[in-house]
């Protein structure tokens, strides 16, 4: 069954939406202080996850809380891994990792960074990474014998560049980069679950054009807890998954 994962613990220990989402998800990606989160929030959500029998992953990022970790950064690998070591120290024993924001996207597209991060993950005894299918970081981790849960995003729109055959999330600078209606996001999720493709756009901005059906295998769908439709979508998707089985190869 496809699992719902959620980036969580980024808004304190008692945010009502975050707490309610924990009733509908399978994996909680807990922020570990790079972009948000602190020992108190990590402990609170890890304790709640244990109570609700939810899997957890360490949600790691560039050390950049000012930009919420969403900006791309150039960092020497030793400095980056030193920060990642500090973040992982907040979640001892966790063997699942998902990168966040700028680091997530950079690891998908930069082979050298992906190689360095996969070496670090292996050294840290990480067993499973959550990452997009076909990404550089997925390839590097598979080559080192790690499991990868292929991820797609529930409430974000995709764009496709036919020049380099690249599928990516629509940049957040565009107002239409995220779905603002639950039914539209759920439709995207159902298409992924049932048929294994996503409708991607060729020209974000003033209008959405050149829609293409692009294959996107996924084992898990991500809901961002700060999405306007997060809770509504979490409940609807959870109910849907109980009755759905993927029919694509």
pLDDT value, residue 249: 44
pTM value is 0.93
- Which of 234, 225, 155 shows the shortest CA–CA distance to 11? 225
As averages over each run of 10 residues, the pLDDT of the chain (249 residues) reads 95 96 98 97 98 98 95 96 98 97 96 98 98 97 98 96 86 90 97 95 66 94 96 96 64
Domain assignment of residue 45, yes or no:
yes
Domain assignment of residue 182, yes or no:
yes
Domain assignment of residue 194, yes or no:
yes
Q: How many domains does the chain contain in total?
A: 1
CATH classification of the domain holding 116: 3.20.20.370
pLDDT value, residue 202: 82
């Amino acid at each position: 069954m496809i699992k719902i994962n959620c980036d969580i613990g980024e808004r304190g220990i008692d945010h009502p939406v975050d707490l309610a989402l924990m009733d509908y998800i399978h994996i909680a990606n807990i922020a570990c202080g790079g972009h948000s989160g602190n020992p108190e929030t990590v402990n609170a959500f890890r304790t709640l996850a244990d109570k609700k029998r939810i899997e957890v992953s360490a949600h790691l990022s560039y050390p950049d809380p000012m930009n919420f970790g969403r900006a791309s950064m150039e960092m020497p690998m030793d400095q980056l891994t030193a920060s990642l070591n500090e973040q992982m120290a907040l979640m001892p024993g966790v063997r699942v990792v998902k990168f966040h924001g700028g680091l997530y996207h950079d690891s998908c597209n930069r082979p050298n960074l992906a190689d360095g991060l996969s070496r670090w993950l292996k050294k840290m005894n990480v067993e499973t990474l959550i990452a997009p299918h076909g990404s550089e970081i997925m390839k590097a981790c598979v080559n080192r014998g790690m499991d990868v849960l292929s991820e797609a995003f529930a409430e974000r729109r995709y764009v496709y560049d036919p020049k380099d055959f690249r599928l990516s999330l629509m940049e957040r600078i565009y107002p239409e980069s995220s779905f603002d209606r639950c039914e539209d996001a759920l439709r995207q999720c159902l298409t992924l679950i049932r048929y294994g493709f996503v409708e991607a756009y060729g020209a974000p901005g003033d209008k959405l054009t050149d829609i293409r059906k692009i294959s996107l295998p996924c084992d898990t769908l991500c809901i961002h807890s700060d999405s306007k439709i997060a809770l509504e979508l979490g409940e609807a998707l959870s109910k849907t998954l109980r009755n759905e089985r993927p029919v694509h190869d």
